[in-house]
Amino acid sequence: MKKILIIGASSGLGQRLAMDFAKMGWRVGIAARRESALKAIKEFYPENVEYRTIDVTATDAVERFNLLIEQTDGMDVLLFASGIGFCDPELSQSILTDTLQTNVVGFARIVAEAYKYFRRTANNTPGQIAAITSVAATKGIGISAAYSSSKRFQQMFLDSLDQLAHQQHVNVKITDIRPGFVRTPILKEDKQYPMIMSIDHAAPLIEEAIIKRKRIATIDWRWSLVTGIWRLIPQCVWRHIELNW
């Protein structure tokens, strides 16, 4: 039975993927801060779901993550799905700090620990580190500066681990999942977003990227096209483009 640990499984994409992997018969270890939501998933699939509360911004996050690995009897795949994001044109200090604590510090401490776990264990069975980053990392987005740059950090960290794994002969595959807008609680309910996807559309594409062990997967093909065009736009032109999300 394959084992996946999903951090950020109490709502949105992480929750849906936890349910889907459990349904597919995987052993699933889930974590987030809200215990009631984790417990509800366990109640659906009592045989193959284990849970533990983890706040990735807390100093005990790594210790609790290792306990969850033990509780799940090991780990073949880590999926890091925790994240926060805000539209913040005022550059509030609290939003800046919270976003970096969660998406940068929290992300790096869990992903680094997963890498070290696979370095110890993945000689025979290959490991996989997957993370949900975002298309928002493609260019600096003025109204979401902290979010956009935190997602760029995540992508760069994953690229770095991919190279480190090669140098250190660690049998671990890195999967960077980059969705466009998906209707989940991270988005404002009353706001319009371009090319927004339903979770029913996005989740199977993310699952396919994990199962096929893709290196980078942009969700979906339309966002792949759009971000390809964004990359061609020089900063002197990009700065004039008003994104209104």
Q: Which residues lie near ligand NAP (CB under 6 A)?
A: 8-14, 32-34, 54-57, 81-85, 102, 106, 132, 134, 179, 181-182, 184-187
CB of 89 to ligand NAP, least distance (A): 18
Using an 8 Å Cβ cutoff, are 81 and 9 in contact?
Answer: yes
Using an 8 Å Cβ cutoff, are 42 and 27 in contact?
Answer: no
CB of 239 to ligand NAP, least distance (A): 23
Q: Which is nearer to ligand NAP, 32 or 111 (CB)?
A: 32
Q: How far is CA 163 from the centre of its chain?
A: 19
Phi and psi at 197, nearest 5°, equal -110, 150
Q: Which is nearer to ligand NAP, 126 or 142 (CB)?
A: 142
Q: Which is nearer to ligand NAP, 127 or 179 (CB)?
A: 179
**How many secondary structure helices (H) and strands (E) does the chain include?**
9, 7
CB of 240 to ligand NAP, least distance (A): 24
CB of 179 to ligand NAP, least distance (A): 4
CB of 185 to ligand NAP, least distance (A): 4
* Joined tokens for residue 156: 């760069």
Q: Which is nearer to ligand NAP, 100 or 170 (CB)?
A: 100
Of the candidates 206, 173, 242, 192, the one whose C-alpha atom is nearest the C-alpha of residue 12 is 206
Strand order in the sheet with 127-132: 49-53, 27-32, 3-7, 77-80, 127-132, 172-179, 216-219
Q: Which is nearer to ligand NAP, 29 or 85 (CB)?
A: 85
